[in-house]
Structure 1
Amino acid sequence: MIAPTIPELVARAALHPFLGEHLAMGTGPFEGQAVARRRDVELLSAYEPIYDITVHSGVQSLTADLASAARFGDELGFQAETLRAQDGRTVPCDPFQDSLDDPELVALDRMVRAMHAINFLGSQQHGLLFLRVHERLLKSVKYDHGRHFSNILVSFGLNPGRIVIELPSAAVAHRTFVSYLTKSYQRHGFKVAGNLPNAGQIISVSDMAVSDSARLDFVKMNASSALRDSMVKPLVTYAARLRIPLIFNRVVDAAQFEQLQQYDVRFVQGPLFAAHDKVE
């Protein structure tokens, strides 16, 4: 079955009572992609690659010629980022930085995630799409997390199994809450990743997997924090024991990348890699 294109998906979104008001095809320099409009601001999608660096042995060192390093391995998937249109170009944007009441935040979060999914899946990109969920949305929606978004994707002819819902560290810090969220999102067809608030939290992830039958599909850890606290090796060992893929994110430079490689890290993402490989 041929996946629907971006224009086809935007046309389907036009029939949705909420998304139809905010999603449209871009024009000018943003032609060909879906954009979201809120309060006279045009929001767009960008994607940061998540690499499996164990695949290609030819990327052992970046320090010699970082500028020529166009690829670092095979992509596991991509992390969606939100940009804002400004004078015909794009700049980073946090659409949630304004003070929003809960209903508006929930609506904005859903709108942005729908835009990212349309642009990614509608452009026939490979791999998984990681989508962050705002902490307040998780608290504002009282039950059945993931049902609304899953229903939209299925109605558009898209597969929720290509989406990884990424839980914030504040949610992962509460074992009962993250267990419930994981089971709820997975029940609606999504994969789930959890950001570790600290290295020690992986023990709670382990306990949850054993006692609650709720296993995260991925865990993420801030590379800078893990390196600073000398916790990369223990984390890699523990994650391997759990058989849960561990992604070190926010890798900012070649020095950090070289250090991570010393500990047989497999998955990485961050500004370093996004600067050299972009989804068009």
Structure 2
Amino acid sequence: MIAPTVPDLVSKAAEHPFLGAHIALGDGEHEGTALAKFHGVTLGSAYEPIFDVGTHSFPQTLTASPESAERFGDELGVQALTLLTDGPSYDPFAQMNDDRQLVELDRLSRALHAFNFFGAQRPGLLFLRVHERLLKSVKYDHGRHFSSVLIDFGLNPSRIVIELPAAAVAHKTFLGYLTKSYQHYGFKVAGNLPNAGQIMSVSEMARLDFIKMDAGAALRDSVVKHLVGYANRLRIPLIFDHVTDEAQFDALQQFDVRFVQGPVFDAHPVNSR
């Protein structure tokens, strides 16, 4: 089966009762990508790589050429970022006070990022963040709607990682329910640790596919070695994100950290929402 292109997906979206009113093919500098119009703004997609630096058997350094970050290992996947079409990152969820609009925006942005990811035949996994308020707005069957949309467009939910916020990870019972629900509908699930100690309970109520931890916080609290060791015992990949500079990257490498993410690896970084 031939993989659909971005124009194919946008064309099919025109027939969808919700997506057809918002998603269109860009032109000019946005030619070949999908854009989404919502409440007076036009949104686009950007992607921050997540590197598997463990695929190299020798220490890496950013000194010579930060622009050549692709040499630091294979890409596990990418983190989707929502952008205004003029460039800067944007948190449209912060502007939404109405829960119904919040759900609509979430469904729209997820579809937008999926179209631009799959339509460009990108390799690896697509990490999509879930807003805390959205998790509370949708009462049950988390993942059912998005999974049905992906399947209808011929896209594979198993290549998407739903990334849960730290507030959800902090509540074990809720975390267990969310993880099982999203996995039931074919997704992988990542959880952001609110603190290092929370890793002790992530396997009690939920078998996450990935764990994420802020690199700066882990280094500041001297818990990187502890986190790596415990994640290895759990056999759950641990991703250190928000790696901001070379000093942080070098410090992480001292503890056999495998997966890293952050603006230091991007020659043209955008700020994450």
TM-score (norm 2): 0.95
Percent of aligned positions that are identical? 68
How far residue 62 of structure 1 moved from its aligned partner, in angstroms, is: 2.1
Return the letter of the residue paired with 1:78.
V
Task: Give the aligned partner of residue 219 of structure 2.
Answer: 227
Q: Secondary structure at the match of 1:117?
A: helix
Return the letter of the residue paired with 2:129.
R
User: Is it true that 1:114 corresponds to 2:111 in the alignment?
Assistant: yes
1:241–1:49 Cα change, 3 Å = same
How far residue 66 of structure 1 moved from its aligned partner, in angstroms, is: 3.6
How far residue 3 of structure 1 moved from its aligned partner, in angstroms, is: 1.2
Q: Distance in 1 between matches of 2:8 and 2:70?
A: 32
Q: Secondary structure at the match of 2:72?
A: coil
> Do the aligned partners of 1:66 and 1:254 also contact (CA within 8 Å) in 2?
no
Q: Distance in 1 between matches of 2:183 and 2:67?
A: 40
Q: Which runs of 5+ in 2 are unaligned?
A: none
Task: Give the aligned partner of residue 261 of structure 2.
Answer: 269
How far residue 99 of structure 1 moved from its aligned partner, in angstroms, is: 3.6
How far residue 276 of structure 1 moved from its aligned partner, in angstroms, is: 6.4
Task: Give the aligned partner of residue 38 of structure 1.
Answer: 38
After superposition, the CA RMSD in angstroms is 1.5
Task: Give the aligned partner of residue 23 of structure 1.
Answer: 23
Runs of 4+ in 1 over 4 A off after TM superposition: 67-70
Q: Distance in 2 between matches of 1:66 and 1:48?
A: 14
Task: Give the aligned partner of residue 153 of structure 1.
Answer: 150
Q: Which runs of 5+ in 1 are unaligned?
A: 209-213
How many residue pairs align between the two structures? 270
Q: Distance in 2 between matches of 1:69 and 1:186?
A: 32
> Do the aligned partners of 2:66 and 2:267 also contact (CA within 8 Å) in 1?
no
Task: Give the aligned partner of residue 8 of structure 1.
Answer: 8
Structure 2 counterpart of 1:259, from 251, 256, 267:
251
Q: What pairs with 1:175-214 in structure 2 (closer than 5 Å)?
A: 175-208=172-205, 214=206
How far residue 274 of structure 1 moved from its aligned partner, in angstroms, is: 2.4
1:68–1:145 Cα change, 3 Å = closer
Q: Distance in 1 between matches of 2:136 and 2:89?
A: 26
